[in-house]
Chain A
Amino acid sequence: MKQLLLTARLDIVESLRARWFQVYTLVFGGIVALLFVFGLTESRVLGFIGLSRLLVTYIQLTMAILPIFVLITTVRSVAGDREAGVFEYLLALPISLGAWFWGKILGRYAVIFAPVFLAMLGATLWGYFDGIEIPWGMFAYYTALLAVMALCFLGIGMLLSAVARTTDVAQGAAFLVWLALLLFLDLILLGVMIQGRIDPELAVAIALANPLQVFRTAALAMFDPQLIVLGPAAYVILDLFGAAGFRIFALVYPAALGIGAALLGYHLFRKGDLL
Chain B
Amino acid sequence: MIDAMILLQNLAKTFRRARVLNGIDLAVGLGERVALIGSNGAGKTTLIRCLLGEYACDGTVRIDGLDPRRQRTAVLGKIGFVPQLPPPLRMPVGQLIEFSAALCGTDPARIAAVAGRLGLDVEAIRTRQFVRLSGGMKQKLLIAIALGRDARLLIMDEPAANLDPEARKIFFDLLAQRLEDATMIISSHRLDEVSSLVNRVVEMDMGRVVLDDKVAEDVALTDVFACRIVLKRFEPAFAKALDGWNFDADAERLVWQGAVAGPDRLRFLGLMSRYTGLVSDLSLMEG
A interface list, Cβ under 8 A from B = 2-3, 6, 10, 13-14, 17-18, 84-97, 271-275
CB contacts (< 8 Å) of A91 on chain B: these are 52, 54
Q: Contact: A88 with B100, CB < 8 Å?
A: no
Chain B residues 81-130 with CB under 8 Å of chain A are 81, 83, 85-92, 95, 99-100, 102-104, 129
CB contacts (< 8 Å) of B77 on chain A: these are 94
Q: Contact: B54 with A90, CB < 8 Å?
A: no
Q: Contact: B91 with A10, CB < 8 Å?
A: yes
In the complex the two chains form, what is the Cα distance from A95 to B104 in whole Å? Answer: 9
Q: Contact: A95 with B52, CB < 8 Å?
A: no
In the complex the two chains form, what is the Cα distance from A14 to B54 in whole Å? Answer: 22
CB contacts (< 8 Å) of B100 on chain A: these are 93
Q: Residue of A at shortest CB range from B51? A: A92
Q: Contact: B83 with A274, CB < 8 Å?
A: no
Q: Residue of A at shortest CB range from B54? A: A274
CB contacts (< 8 Å) of A273 on chain B: these are 54-56
Range class of the B interface residue count: 20 to 34
Q: Contact: B89 with A86, CB < 8 Å?
A: yes
Closest beta carbon of chain A to B90's beta carbon, Å? 4
Instruction: Tally inter-chain residue pairs, CB-CB below 8 A.
Output: 80
B49 at the A interface (CB under 8 A) = yes
B72 at the A interface (CB under 8 A) = yes
B36 at the A interface (CB under 8 A) = no
Q: Contact: A271 with B73, CB < 8 Å?
A: no
CB contacts (< 8 Å) of A6 on chain B: these are 99, 102-103
Closest 6 CB pairs of A and B: A94-B76, A92-B81, A94-B77, A89-B87, A17-B90, A86-B87
B58-89: contact bitstring with A at CB < 8 Å (1 yes, 0 no)? 00000000000000111111010101011111
Q: Contact: A272 with B49, CB < 8 Å?
A: no
Chain B residues 129-145 with CB under 8 Å of chain A are 129, 142
Supply 19 A–B pairs (Cβ within 8 Å), ascending by A. Answer: A2-B102, A13-B92, A14-B89, A14-B90, A14-B91, A17-B90, A17-B129, A84-B87, A85-B88, A86-B89, A89-B83, A93-B81, A94-B73, A94-B103, A94-B104, A95-B76, A95-B103, A96-B72, A275-B54
In the complex the two chains form, what is the Cα distance from A13 to B130 in whole Å? Answer: 12
Chain B residues 17-69 with CB under 8 Å of chain A are 49, 52-56
